[in-house]
Homo-oligomer: A and B are copies of this chain.
Amino acid sequence: MEDQTELVGKTFVGHYYHLFDNDRASLSSLYQPTSMLTFEGQKFFGVDDISTKFNQLPFDQCRHMISTIDSQPCPSTGGLLIFVSGSLQLAGEDHHLRFSQMFHLIPTPRGSFAVQNDIFRLNYG
């Protein structure tokens, strides 16, 4: 039987990449003022900085395909850690870019989760 952490992890991952691929501007709703993003080695802090990065990515449409999702609880924050691997296809291009990404989600006062830590890397073969 799937445990609660796995279930939250899978639900979050589905939601996150659905927003990324269909309504990228809305991703900002998942971050908060203390959030950190490291994207291909570049660091961003807080919702505004992170949203600006996403909106300035040099492609409009893309599609994420998820290969693996591993989740573990983080008892000291009441949150969870999620590790994702998959591939990314940019609109109009045939080839896929492999990527790995990790998230640390922490609980919010409204009973949901926000992204506290986010690290993204393309996997060069």
Contact = CB atoms under 8 A, between A and B. Distances in A.
Contact of A98 (B67, B106, B123): B123
This protein's copies in its complex: 2
A121 B70 contact: yes
A38 B119 contact: no
Given A76-B116, A85-B121, A98-B123, 11 more contacts: A41-B68, A70-B119, A72-B117, A74-B77, A74-B104, A74-B116, A76-B77, A76-B106, A83-B121, A85-B100, A100-B121
14 contacts: A36-B72, A38-B72, A41-B70, A67-B124, A70-B119, A77-B77, A81-B81, A81-B117, A83-B100, A83-B102, A83-B121, A100-B100, A104-B104, A125-B125
